[in-house]
Amino acid sequence: MTSRPVAPAHGAVGAAGGVHGEQAAGGQGFSATLQRVRDGARFCGLFARVPRPSDTAQLLALVSDGGELFVEEIEVPAVDGRYTSLTPAVPAAGWYERRIRDLFGIEPVGHPRLDPLVFPVPPEGRPPLGAEGDPTVEMAPDPAPLPSHVQGEGVFTIPYGPVRSGVFEAVEYLVETSGEDIPHLRARIFYKHRGVEAHFCGLGVDDGALLAERVEGVASVAHASAFCAAVEQLGGVAVPFQSQLVRVVHAELERVANHLDSIVRHTEAAGQAVAYALFSHHKERVQRLRTRLCGSRFGRGVVVPGGVSGPLGLPPAEVLGTVGGLRRAVGRDVRLLMDTPSFVDRLRGTGVVSHDDARAFAVVGPVGRASGQDEDVRRSRPYGGYARLGHRVAERREGGDALVRQQVRIYEIAEAFHLMRQALDMLDELGEPTSWRAEVPKVSGRAIGWAEAPQGELLSLVEAEDGRLTHVTVRSASFHNLAAYPSAFPKDIFTDVAFIEASFGLSIAGASC
């Protein structure tokens, strides 16, 4: 069971692993959410929507606690709506509130620093997703940086980006510095804002899955899985078990490719030429295996509402052999890499995200797991095939620096091979199902789907009416984690930036969508 429709009624309903809905009494703040976060729950996100035609906007705050997802909903006027900001008590909400202000024009009262996020300047006119429809937002970038965070003699701001040296996604880092150390760094992501959320409206669910893949291209399988999980929940669709296993194989290969990409970028930054060549070759082998399994190097078109588009392109036993060879080759080179002092020394103590910061920003994924935030939704809210696979308990890791993040990824690569092996064994045993894809009826309602993307927990809020999407918000782990990114820099210097960036492994496309 991957997701449940959010109950519109008051009070918490549902069983373990489900989603609980509740509506705030006062309507102007998230009292239940605040209480839950104070009691130790993890803040997962803040979503907004304005149903058209309507003059009220709905805000949904999500928290995760003990394997359950709680949703609190408040309503504010769609035009000039205001509510009490969560950010002073829940720093993790900071970026969500900035995004919602830019896109919907709803104001969080008491936000400590409401800089524009998806637009270069504070938006004027009609916000693109607000009540009045067609946007009049001027997107001309403003090269002038906003006021700096750090004040003092000799402190200046270096803009780095959006066109950077090397092949990178477009993002601008404003480095506030007095010369060598980095007391503060700001990421400006508006350059890549593509307005994806608006494009979902009116699509059918099959097209919706294709668009979901393009929110964050390097995590296409995870995005399609989370989106389809929500759709399948709305339609009460039982996905064939073999299809769930095929999704697991593709999702884990995607994880291996992403983690190898992170290692490649580390070796490149450290100038380890041989290691760079070896690991980029390993990553290429993974991408080629994915091509042989589905015709796409990114698993595009595999995950569809109701199941998968077809079987693996190779017999499970043959995949198992190839995967086994990959596992041995990667393992061998990883051991040597982590025994190379000139590499490990660059990572140790670099880009530390303290436990307090990780908790305050509710950091997810490998970055969170390196700083004591253990949650992995494959285990805590198991979805699809993961519910039937054996997961090894991860060793608890704490240091929070780039080295520990790397160790977490190395562990996850091994674990991904372990999960793939189980899924492939089962596929081999079970043979083909009667159909790889269950029928999906014309769905209506609202549901939340999730997946553990390589970058961390991924949420997809889907609303549909008679088979057409009326609203979709995709919350990638990259967006969620990017808010914690600046907290990794204060003890470091310029030459560490490349390592910190590689060790966060975030996709700007997913963050700025």
Interface positions with other proteins (CB under 8 A):
120, 128, 134-135, 137, 139-141, 143, 162-163, 165-170, 190-196, 198-199, 206-207, 210-211, 213-218, 220, 261, 272, 274-275, 277-278, 280-281, 283-284, 287-288, 291-292, 295-298, 300-301, 333, 336, 340, 507-510
Closest contact distance (angstroms) between CB of 326 and other proteins is 13
Nearer residue to other proteins within complex by CB, 70 or 479: 479
Residue 73 main-chain phi, psi, to 5 deg: -120, 130
Whether the Cβ atoms of residue 497 and residue 490 lie closer than 8 Å to each other: no
Distances (CA, A) of 474 to 206, 324, 485, 510: 16, 34, 20, 9
User: In the complex, what is the shortest distance from the CB of residue 250 to other proteins, in angstroms, rounded to a whole number?
Assistant: 15
**Nearest Cα to Cα of residue 96 among 388, 506, 480:** 480
| Phi/psi at 19 (5° precision) | -115, 135
Q: Are 90 and 34 in contact (CB under 8 A)?
A: yes
d(CA 134, CA 120): 19
User: What minimum distance in Å lies between the beta carbon of 334 and other proteins?
Assistant: 12
User: C-beta of 165: minimal distance to other proteins in Å?
Assistant: 3
343: alpha, beta or left, given left = phi > 0 and alpha = psi -120 to 50? alpha
Gap between the Cα atoms of 10 and 94, Å rounded: 27
Find the shortest distance in angstroms from Cβ 267 to other proteins.
Answer: 11
Which amino acid makes up residue 482? L
Least distance between other proteins and beta carbon 265 (Å): 9
Q: Which is nearer to other proteins, 30 or 279 (CB)?
A: 279
Helices and strands of the chain, counted as H and E runs: 16, 14
Look at the block and give the residue holding tokens 């041989």: 274
Closer CB to other proteins, 183 or 195, in the complex: 195
Q: Which is nearer to other proteins, 31 or 309 (CB)?
A: 309
Kindly list the distances between the CA atom of residue 162 and the CA atoms of 95, 121, 195, 333, 485, in Å, as whole numbers in the listed order: 20, 16, 18, 34, 17
CB of 197 to other proteins, least distance (A): 10
What are the Cα distances from residue 392, in Å, to 276, 412, 476? 29, 10, 25
Q: Is 10 or 164 the residue whose CB approaches other proteins more closely?
A: 164
The nearest distance, CB 264 to other proteins, in angstroms, is: 8
Q: State the DSSP string of 168-192.
A: ----EEEEEESSSB-SEEEEE-GGG
By C-beta, is 191 or 241 nearer to other proteins?
A: 191
Q: In what order do the strands lie in the sheet with 184-188?
A: 156-160, 172-177, 184-188
Q: Output the smallest distance, CB 248 to other proteins, in A.
A: 21
Q: Which is nearer to other proteins, 16 or 167 (CB)?
A: 167
For the CA atoms of 288, 291, 293, 296, what is the dihedral angle to 10 degrees? 150
Nearer to other proteins, 165 or 434 (CB): 165
CB closer to other proteins out of 268 and 428: 268
